[in-house]
Structure formats: structure tokens, C-alpha cells
Amino acid sequence: MGVEIKIEDLSKSFGKQLIWGDVTLTVPAGEVSVMLGPSGTGKSVLLKTLIGLLKPDKGSVIIEGTDIASCSEKELYEIRKLFGVLFQDGAMFGSMNLYDNVAFPLREHTKKSESEIRDIVMEKMDLVGLLGAEDKLPGEISGGMRKRAGLARALVLDPEIVLFDEPDSGLDPVRTAFLNQLIVDLNAQIDATFLIVTHDINTARTVPDNIGLLYHRHLAMFGPREMLLSSEEPVVRQFLNAQKVGPIGMSEEKDADELEAEKDEAMPPLPPIPMQLEPSNGIARRSQREPGAWCRENGVTPPPGSFDQNMSMAPGAG
Amino acid sequence: MASTTATRILAPVGTAGKLFAFGLDVGRGLFRRPFQTREFIQQAWFIASVTIIPTALVAIPFGAVIALQVGGLIKQFGAQSFTGSAAVLAVVREAGPIATSLLIAGAAGSAIAADLGARKIREELDAMMVLGIDPIQRLVVPRVLACMLVAVFLNGLVSVVGVAGGYVFNVVLQDGTPGAYLSSFTALAQLPDLWQGMAKALVFGLLAAIVACYKGMNAAGGPKGVGDAVNESVVISFMLLFVVNFVMSAIYFQLVPPKTG
Ligand SMILES: Nc1ncnc2c1ncn2[C@@H]1O[C@H](COP(=O)(O)OP(=O)(O)OP(=O)(O)O)[C@@H](O)[C@H]1O
Ligand SMILES: [Mg+2]
């Protein structure tokens, strides 16, 4: 049914370099959340902290009452069974073919017979569109295929929480669209908590229930999609609409001169909020909310043209 | 400023401490079931395959050089009848373990560090931990045991090949008599020499494998990091093995008094 991840006051630095500090948020159970942020802001580091691969300097990550940041090694290995993780490059075991890679968690953690394992593996391979490539070694396939194989492996134990590190980087636009649909369908099917790290604004605008933005060593904002997509906050607005005007520069933040120079350049108007991607069978997901509900409840007028069925692409993504 | 200097100077101490802690983790992993028999056999086979030929090739000149040096010296003392014994002593006590350590650290250690380093930067090790599997138990323990086994085996190989090389050199080139070479075997050498050679090889295999695994699993910073890890692992284990060899020899001479001809 999905498990919530409660992150409190989390900080992480490497040596003297602070990656991010005082990150507090709750990833709601069963919902799809996206974490955005410019390159190098520590999104991958955040995911690794959530699964206890990196220890934070302070703060806590609470999952089912266990604090990942301070629990024992044994508890950690136990709690990790709830997770399915898709790493940035797939992280397939180089010495095994794709079939054995996907079968690996089943062979390690279950007592299933080889024929049962075969059924499950084939089902997941079919799901990610890799039927026929079972015998290939990870070194012999493209980055996009490795990523999809990684997804198959992450799903094989029916996880309660699925973490995706840039599922869409290195995929062509068509595959990205298929993958996004797959993510939505999966969420409808298994009701797990999804946390996706991505750069792709189109994904961020159409897939999740919640959006977060990591920027300048802190969490700039986290909340329901409509809250961020209608936000006037300069950083959020700049990033979600892929604009040059705003506080984010080529290297992290712009300096005072640059900001001064573009002071008179007005930010372009907010683009309309697109409809959320529906599961392909048309049955709404459990965590899905009615379009415009958040805006109504909070007295926010969405940008004109929002929630129009025919409008799906983010203008910035084109 | 003073504090940065202090951190720099103390850095190796920290590394040594982490290495030691890693060694303890491996020790704990040793007793955790299920034991990875398949990985162990594969690794032992792999390590043996990368070390056997170089070891044999190194052992022949080793035996020959010892025969040459000792042969010349012994002639000056007029003790030719001890040539065989001296060769056995030198090869079994010192050359065997040293050649073994060179090959284990150089060939096996670098291969292990490169393999684990590549897995580390491809995030395979992270993925493994997330899948609830401890890479120390799964990957490191079988490698350490395989390295120890192969080291003992290589030590035996060096001893045999070295003594045979010495024999050929002494008899064919230095006009020694086969009888003298063979019959003096046990004049100075004794059984504990053999045991201590094996003990050294075991310890060398253990240390080289632990250093290589530690360095490999802590590789960072992309493909270059793997190269650095391999390089550091070879240098560190060389230094470590030579020091340990000296210490073990010193202890051995305290415990087992040399045989008097
Ligand atoms: N193990 C580590 N040791 C030291 N620094 C690290 C380590 N891992 C990451 N960093 C640093 O942390 C910062 C954030 O890295 P991270 O990989 O999380 O970025 P990211 O947001 O995922 O970027 P991208 O979108 O390009 O993947 C980088 O500056 C990186 O140099
Ligand atoms: Mg990343």
C-alpha cells in the first residue's frame, strides 16, 4: 500500500562542502513525487541518504518508525527490503546477463522455484520492453536499455517504495513518454510510494502528484504539483518553466551584477498547468486528485488555459 | 593552517585505522552463512590463472641467482658440500614468500582492486547493498580466502621451481655434483622452515587481498579513481608485505633456533 518517508532536518556535507542542509519533507505514502534540481545539487546524494548508503551529518529519515540515519546495520538491511531502486546508470551486475540480473533479488530473498522465477522475470522484462534481450550482458546494451533493465530488477520484489534516479536521462523522447506512462501505470497497479529524481520538466509537469525543488544547498519548495506549477517564487518558476531569466545561472546561482542586469526583463507569464498523465486503463490512481482541486482549496487562480484536455506539452520543453 | 598540517600528517593513521576496521568486518563476514562457495572457487581459479606462469618464471631466476651468489661465497669458504642446503634455506625461507608476495600483490591484488573498483563506480556495490546483500560477505570474503589458498600454493610452487632452478644452475653451470646438492638438503634446512614459509604466504595472501578489496571498494571519482585505487593498492601491499616479512622472519628466528650443520 506504500509507505511514507519522513525526512526531518537532514544535512549532508562531504568534508567542508555542504551539499544540502535542513531538508525537511514528507514523501506521502502511495503518491508519485518528483525531486527536481540543477545538476550537482545533490539529488543522487539525497536518494542514497534515503536508503542508508550515505550517512547524513544530522537529521533523520523515518520509514515505518525506523530512523535510517541512526539504525543498526541489521535493521538497515531489513528496511531495504521495502525498497526498489533504479540507479542513474542502471547499476546492473556486469558479470551476469540481464535475466540473471533481474532474477538475482528473487534468488537471494525468496524460496521460489526456477520456473516461478522465470515467470516473474519474463513478466517484468515484458513490462519494460526488453523481451528477447535476456541473454545480453549489461556491457552489450545501450544506456537506455540498461536503465530499463534496472527498473525491471527494482520492481521484481514488489517494493513498497520505488526510488528512480533520472529514469529519463539518456532515453529518447518516445521512450521517455512510454516510461512516464509506465511509471503512472505502475503506481496505479502496485500503489507504492514513488520518488523520482529528474531534470526533465515535461516529466515533472505531467507525471507526479508532488514536486520538490532542491536548489542552492537547500530544499526550495515541496508540495502538491499545482502549488509549484502555479508558484510565483522566482526559483521555482524559472526551473519549472526552463527559463534563463531568474536566480539560477550557469554555475549554480547568478551573482548580483547579472541579477541587476536582468532586473527589467520581466519574467514571462506562467504557462498553463497541464493535465496529469492518466493510467492507460483510464481508472484513476488512488492518490490522484481532481485537476484544479488544490488551486480551488487554496484560493489560487491557475494560469489561464490550465487543465485543458488538449494541452499536454510544457512550452519550455519544446 | 596548523590544523590542516595536522590533518595531513594524521591522514595515513586514519587510513590505517579504516583498513584495520575493514579487516575486522571481513573477519566477521567470514563466519556469516551462506558461504559463497561458487564465488570462492571462481576467484581461486582466476587468481591462480593470473599468477601461476609469472610465478614460475620469477622463481627460476630467483633460484639461479641464489645458487650463483651462495655458490660463489661458499666456494671461498670451502664449504661446497652445503650448496644445496643453502639454496633450499634461501629459497624456502625467503625467496618463496617474497616472490609469492610480489605476485599476489602485483598480479592478484591489482586484478581484485580493478574488479571491485569498477563495480564500485558503476554503483554495482550500492545496488547490491540496496538489494539487501552485504558485499563484504558476498565478494570480499571469497576473494580473501581464495587469495590465501593460492598464496600457499604459489609458495610451494616457488620452492619447488626455485630449488630445481638452483639445482640445474649448480650442477650444469657451476660444475657442482648432483649428489652433494641433494644430500646436503637437510643439513641446514629443517621442517619448521617449510611451515614458516607457508605461514608467511597465508598472511601475505590475507593482507594483499584485504588491501586490494579495501582500495577497490573505496574507489571514487570515475574511471581515473579505479586506476588510482589499483596503483595505491599495489604500492601499499608491497610495503606492507615487506615489513611483515621482516617481522615474521625476526620472530621465527627467535622461536626456532637455526640448525647447526
Ligand atoms: N562520495 C562523494 N564524495 C564527495 N563528494 C561527492 C560524493 N558524491 C557526490 N559528491 C558531490 O556532491 C555533489 C552532488 O552530487 P550528485 O551526484 O548528488 O548530484 P546530482 O544532483 O545527482 O547531479 P546530476 O543531476 O548531474 O546527476 C557534487 O558536487 C558531487 O561532487
Ligand atoms: Mg545524479
Instruction: Give the nearest chain B residue to A106 (CA atoms).
Output: B131
**Nearest bound ligand to CA A42?**
1
Domain with A183, as residue range(s), is 5-96+159-297
Give Cα separations from A29 to A64, A157, B162, B234, B253 (angstroms): 11, 18, 68, 49, 68
- List strand residue ranges (DSSP E) for chain A, in order: 5-14, 17-27, 32-36, 58-63, 66-67, 83-86, 161-165, 193-197, 210-215, 218-224
Among A37-41, A265-269, B25-29, the minimum mean pLDDT is found in A265-269
Asked if the C-beta of A278 comes within 8 angstroms of chain B's C-beta atoms, the answer is no
- Inter-CA distances, A246 with A38, A236, B111, Å: 13, 9, 50
Number of independent structural domains in chain B: 1
C-alpha cell at A223: 508540495
Of A140-154, A272-286, B4-18, which range is least confident?
A: B4-18
Which pLDDT belongs to residue A316?
42
Which of A81, A87, A109 is nearest residue B126 as measured by Cβ atoms? A87
Select from B123, B125, B136 the residue whose CB has the most chain A CBs within 10 Å, as the one to mutate to test that interface: B123
Q: Residue B55: enclosing H or E segment and its boundaries? A: helix B37-77
What is the complex's ipTM, to 2 decimals? 0.81
| A211, A236 contact by CB (below 8 A) | no
Residue B234 has pLDDT above 90, yes or no: yes
Mean pLDDT over each residue of chain A, to the nearest integer: 87
Residue-level length of chain A: 318
Instruction: Calculate helix-pair angle for B110-121, B37-77, nearest 10 degrees.
Output: 150
In a domain, B175, yes or no: yes
Domain with residue A29: its CATH number is 3.40.50.300
Mark yes or no for CB contact A92/B134 under 8 Å: no
User: Could you tell me the distance, in angstroms and rounded to a whole number, from the CA of residue B222 to the centre of ligand 2?
Assistant: 14
Return the residue of A nearest to B122 by Cα: A91
Q: What residues make up the domain containing B84?
A: 35-255
Task: Using the mean position of ligand 1's atoms as its centre, give its distance from the Cα of residue B82 in Å.
Answer: 65
User: Which grid cell is B193?
Assistant: 622452515
CA of A19 to the centre of ligand 1 (A): 8
Could you tell me if A25 and A222 are in contact, meaning their C-beta atoms sit under 8 angstroms apart?
Answer: yes
Residue A28 lies in a domain: yes
**Is B118's Cβ below 8 Å from some Cβ in A?**
yes
pLDDT of residue A314: 46
Instruction: Take atom 30 of ligand 1 and give the residue whose Cα is closest.
Output: A40
**Nearby residues for ligand 2 (ion, Cβ within 5 Å):** A 44
Residue contacts between A and B (CB atoms, under 8 Å):
46
Query: Under the phi-then-psi rule, with left for phi > 0, alpha for psi from -120 to 50, and beta for the rest, what region is A37?
Result: left
Residue B29 lies in a domain: no
Say if A26 falls within a structural domain: yes
Report yes or no on A183 lying in a domain. yes
C-alpha grid cell, residue A26: 514528507
CB A87 to CB B127 under 8 A? yes
In angstroms, the separation between the Cα of residue A234 and the nearest Cα of chain B is 34
Mean residue pLDDT across chain B: 85
pLDDT of residue B214 exceeding 80:
yes
Give the DSSP letter of residue A245: S
Closest-CA residue of chain B to A79: B132
Residue having the nearest C-alpha atom to atom 12 of ligand 1: A42
Would the CB of B220 count as within 6 Å of ligand 1? Answer: yes
User: Nine-digit cell at A43?
Assistant: 539529488
Is A80's CB within 8 Å of B132's CB?
Answer: yes
Query: Which ligand lies nearest to the CA atom of residue A217 in the structure?
Result: 1
- Interchain contact, B130 vs A105, CB within 8 Å: no
Q: How confident is residue A318, by pLDDT bands cut at 50, 70 and 90?
A: very low
pLDDT at A175 exceeding the cut of 80: yes
> Which residue among A18, A19, A169, A213 has the greatest number of ligand 1 atoms within 8 angstroms of its CB, and so is best to mutate?
A19
Residues 6 or more apart from B132 whose CB is under 8 A from it?
A: A77, A78, A80, A81, A105, A108, A109
A178 in reach of chain B (CB within 8 A): no
Q: Please say whether the beta carbons of B213 and B116 come within 8 A.
A: yes
Number of domains present in the structure of chain A: 1
Residue A318, in any domain of the structure: no
Confidence grade of residue A171 (pLDDT, cut at 50, 70, 90): confident
Q: How far is B125 from chain A (nearest CA, A)?
A: 8
- CB A203: neighbour CB atoms within 10 A? 25
List the single residue in B with minimal CA-CA distance to A78: B132
Q: Average pLDDT, stretch A130-137?
A: 91
> Which distant-in-sequence residues (6+ apart) come within 8 Å of A275 by Cβ?
A206, A291, A307, A308, A309, A311, A312
Note whether residue B22 is domain-resident: no
Q: At what angle do helices B110-121 and B191-217 cross, to 10 degrees?
A: 20
Is pLDDT of B2 > 60? no
User: Is any Cβ of chain A less than 8 angstroms from the Cβ of B121?
Assistant: no
CA dihedral A170, A88, A84, A203 (to 10 degrees): -50
- pLDDT at position A84 is 92
A-chain residues within 8 Å CB-CB of B42?
none
**Residue range B130-142: mean pLDDT, rounded:** 91
pLDDT of residue A162: 95
Whether the pLDDT of residue A104 is over 60: the answer is yes
Contacting residues for B182 by C-beta, under 8 A, at least 6 apart:
B84, B167
Nearest CB to A109 within list B129, B130, B132: B132
Beta carbons of A298 and A227 less than 8 angstroms apart: yes
Question: pLDDT tens for residues A202-260?
Answer: 899 999 999 999 988 889 999 999 999 998 888 888 888 877 777 777 665 666 666 66
pLDDT at position A301: 87
User: Is residue A244 classed exposed, middle or buried when 0-12, 13-18 and 19+ CB atoms within 10 A define those classes?
Assistant: exposed
b/e per residue A34-57 (b: at least 16 CB within 10 A) = bbbbbeebbbbbbbbbbbbbbebe
Instruction: Over range B174-202, report the average pLDDT.
Output: 80
Contact criterion met (CB below 8 Å) for A11 and A22:
yes
Hey, CA dihedral for A70, A72, A75, A77, is it positive or negative? positive
Average pLDDT over residues B65-70: 78
B232 CA → ligand 2 middle, Å: 28
Q: Do A91 and B123 touch (CB under 8 A)?
A: yes
At B152, the pLDDT band (50, 70, 90 cuts) reads very high
**Is the minimum distance from the CB of A45 to ligand 1 under 6 angstroms?**
yes
Atom of ligand 1 nearest to the CA of A43: 21
Cα A189-A192-A195 angle, rounded to 5 deg? 120
Distant-in-sequence, close-in-space partners of B5: CB < 8 Å, separation ≥ 6: none
Do residues A192 and A30 touch, judged by C-beta distance below 8 A? yes
**Cis-peptide, bond into residue A291, ω within 30° of zero:** no
Predicted pLDDT at A147: 87
